[in-house]
Structure 1
Amino acid sequence: MNSNSIIIVGASAAGISAAREIRSLDTEVPVRIFTDETYRPYYRPFLTEYIGDKSVENRVNFYLNPENWYRDRKIELNLGEKVVAVDPVGMSIQTEHGNRYSFSRLILANGSRPFVPFKDAVGKKNVFSIRTLNDARAVHDQAEKAATALVIGGGLLGLEAAHSLTNRGVEVTILEASDRILPRQLDSECSVILQNIVTRKNVTLIIGKSIDSITGDTMAKGVRLSTGEVVPADMIIISIGIRPNVDLATNCGITVNWAVVVNDRMETTSSGIYACGDVAEFNGRNIALWMPAVNQGKVAGSNAAGKPARFIDAVYPAVMNSFGTKIFSAGDLCLDMKEGDYKLHIMKNIDKNHYKKLFFVNDRLVGFILIGDISESQKLTAAIKNGTAYADLVP
């Protein structure tokens, strides 16, 4: 195989962004992408919507590129071929089929996997996580015959999944072990507002309780809580976080903390090997969101192609459009600060479920939450970046 190849492991946001950037800079260098998924790369944030409506797959932007995009750009897309080992000294990879490929530069963009801490979830046919198109298809099909569903986790993905199932007439319960839903994206006051919106859509919320076990044999019947209560369900979705896929890096001696450690060029500690997206950790942060993955992939691709580029961290918002409302949360919400160490500005119209909360530290905007009307989101995001003063934002 051509030892001058640039190999990309992973075909989602970061991997495809890297390939696009490489090809924009060098039309000749061989580019090979490997993914264990069997589908053309797609827009993963659509998956929770897909479980409510399969026609989402027919949208023009569901797949990241048309089939001929890869062929026309001479990008070799190897679907269903998982990379199982990296040899940084011999500069080669090995796939599960026993094939070995040489590289001159390697980009690890192999993402993350769902965190499933419950051993008794294994093997139960109606217990799911949502990470791939296969996952979404399985959840969609199970919902056809389910009257009730339990979503474990009240984060963004869990809420979006609950919304899609509710729209299909499934009776949904959300179980969140923390003291509120969206605990990382909302403060307590805003979470209560959202909880009221969600429960008005006939969703049951169980807050601040943990799971003792998942009941049932080959099919789950529900969960038993640590309090002894039993919550029955015809299907269960586990959505309590992700873990970066660091095994490839760990096994070949690349430095890993929580994720694969990279510098601002997306370089790992092994020469010629880059990492980006959910699998990468920059400045102690594993961001694991779509847009930073795209940006990191672009930087990794540029450097792999020989054009120096650096990743500049930015304000990446949390966005949700479910249960008849919209949420946009960005920046530092001062969740770990004491009252008096920051200043608040609040505007609310409870009748219309509109709410705006601005967080200031040293008189400068550091974060905000918008519920309902999110039309100011871009202006406020820019204001965080610019360190806009309280007097310039509050009449």
Structure 2
Amino acid sequence: MKNRVVIVGNGAAGYYAAETLANHGEECEITLIAEEKYVSYFRPRLSHFLGERELGRNFFLKEEAWYKQSGIRLMLNTKVMSIDTALKSITTDTGETVEYDRLILSHGGSSFLPPTEGAELKGVFTLKTLDDAYKIKEWMGDCQKAVVIGGGLLGIEAAWGMKQTGLDVTISNTSDRLLSNQLCLESGKFLEGVVRQKGVDVVLQDRVVKISGTDRVESVEFESGMTMEADIVLFSVGIRPNLAIAREAGIECNKGIVVDRMMRTSAEGVFACGDVVELEGRGFGNWMHAMQMGKIAAMNAIGRQAEFHDGVTSIVTNSFGTSVNCIGQTLLEEGTEKIVTQDASGEKFKKLIFKDGKLVGGIIIGDAGAYPKLMEAVSQEADISNFKKK
């Protein structure tokens, strides 16, 4: 009898778990349950879609027909309400009970909306799903001024998308630089210069504390006392893992569902992967990590021994007419040294980080062509002498 494997969530982790299982279709029956009404798509493109007329080619990872051809039972627009780990079953919002032999939880997280006066007004958004993007695009048609709260990857990409539609855009970030989780102060300031040159304003080390308007957004007020007109506000300040159904089922959770490197949870036969998990005290909000975790969870769900190894982390973003590539360790710490280069045009920036004379990371802005070589050099822990000669 085939193993019944149920996957909850169809983001990167869920999709790649399903694809991996489909390659071993003779061993299992696959059910994929997702709250959204769409098949799996490339979620990092959502922020770019704000500035585009149509969804790009290959936005959807596979057409719906592929799931049927692969023997995957697809349950879209369906929410899992509870898990019974003793009976090995889940219950959906339609009242259906689905039994499993192995369960893979990959239902991700939800956008965090910090408590802010006026956040309930029309024109205040977060961006996590395709429907969110459609709602934002519809609202933008009647807007002139946008404030994006959050200067991380999604925030700056969304700001650029909005700017391309003709909006007057401001990015607000509580840190002293953009992309503060990835960039050092000097590279963050370099990127800030690029953003400003493209006509987007940046407010740093300040926080929006109030959103005002009679029925819809009209302005925002900062902690410093500064006010700014706005008719659309986008919060982009991170996500929080969706832990409710796991906690209620008695599955160990901390900041995420606690898993080991085989993606096993504390419950027998239950695996978890992607944004919803915590591994060795860390969360992983990266598409590549989610993809790998989904594959690992699937392999272990059918009895194949596999472990997750995060390797060299890389972050890539393209917006404001430039590229930002962050590889491995990007911030200085005790025992590290750096080599920084910047071209005369002010369009390219490169910072290399070394520890014990070995290359452990780097930042490249404005030179996407250098990314593959740097990735290879970091993976091989190239010696600092190779770079000091140049």
TM-score normalized with structure 1 length: 0.95
| 1:1-395 pair list within 5 angstroms | 4-27=3-26, 29-57=28-56, 59=57, 61-335=58-332, 337-338=333-334, 341-395=335-389
Question: Cα deviations across residues 41-74 of structure 1 (Å, max 9, x unaligned)?
Answer: 11111101111113125x1x11110121000011
Q: What is the Cα deviation at residue 393 of structure 1?
A: 3.5
Q: Secondary structure at the match of 2:324?
A: strand
| 8 Å CA contact retained: 2:323, 2:367 | yes
Could you tell me how far apart the structure 2 residues matched to 1:212 and 1:21 are?
46
Could you tell me how far apart the structure 1 residues matched to 2:75 and 2:387 are?
51
Letter matched to residue 360 of structure 2: V
Q: What is the Cα deviation at residue 304 of structure 1?
A: 0.8
Could you tell me how far apart the structure 2 residues matched to 1:202 and 1:334 are?
28
Letter matched to residue 352 of structure 2: L
- Alignment size in residue pairs: 389
Q: What is the Cα deviation at residue 3 of structure 1?
A: 9.4
Change in CA separation of 1:73 and 1:383 when aligned onto 2, cut-off 3 Å: same
Question: Cα deviations across residues 316-339 of structure 1 (Å, max 9, x unaligned)?
Answer: 21211111111101211234x25x
Letter matched to residue 23 of structure 2: S
Q: List, as ranges, runs of 4+ consecutive aligned residues in structure 1 with deviation greater than 6 Å.
A: none
| 8 Å CA contact retained: 1:3, 1:102 | no
| 8 Å CA contact retained: 1:3, 1:103 | no
Question: Cα deviations across residues 18-48 of structure 1 (Å, max 9, x unaligned)?
Answer: 0111121233521111111011211111101
Letter matched to residue 385 of structure 2: A
Could you tell me how far apart the structure 1 residues matched to 2:44 and 2:338 are?
32
RMSD over aligned Cα atoms = 1.6
Q: What is the Cα deviation at residue 287 of structure 1?
A: 1.3
Identical-pair percentage: 36
Q: For structure 1, which segment, 250-259 or 117-126, has the greater mean C-alpha deviation from structure 2 after superposition?
A: 117-126
Q: What is the Cα deviation at residue 161 of structure 1?
A: 0.6
Change in CA separation of 1:350 and 1:145 when aligned onto 2, cut-off 3 Å: farther
Q: Secondary structure at the match of 1:139?
A: helix
Could you tell me how far apart the structure 1 residues matched to 2:43 and 2:227 are?
33
Q: For structure 1, which segment, 74-83 or 246-255, has the greater mean C-alpha deviation from structure 2 after superposition?
A: 246-255
Q: Secondary structure at the match of 1:383?
A: helix
Could you tell me how far apart the structure 1 residues matched to 2:374 and 2:118 are?
42
TM-score normalized with structure 2 length: 0.96
Q: Secondary structure at the match of 2:376?
A: helix
Question: Cα deviations across residues 68-124 of structure 1 (Å, max 9, x unaligned)?
Answer: 100001101101100011111111111112211110000000011111112435532
Change in CA separation of 1:78 and 1:193 when aligned onto 2, cut-off 3 Å: same
Unaligned runs of 5+ in 2: none
| 8 Å CA contact retained: 1:334, 1:342 | no
Question: Cα deviations across residues 217-252 of structure 1 (Å, max 9, x unaligned)?
Answer: 431222211122212101000001111111121111
Q: What is the Cα deviation at residue 376 of structure 1?
A: 2.3
Unaligned runs of 5+ in 1: none
| 8 Å CA contact retained: 2:2, 2:26 | no
Q: For structure 1, which segment, 117-126 or 370-379, has the greater mean C-alpha deviation from structure 2 after superposition?
A: 117-126
Question: Cα deviations across residues 147-194 of structure 1 (Å, max 9, x unaligned)?
Answer: 110000111111001101111110001111111111111110111111
Q: What is the Cα deviation at residue 141 of structure 1?
A: 1.1
Letter matched to residue 201 of structure 2: T
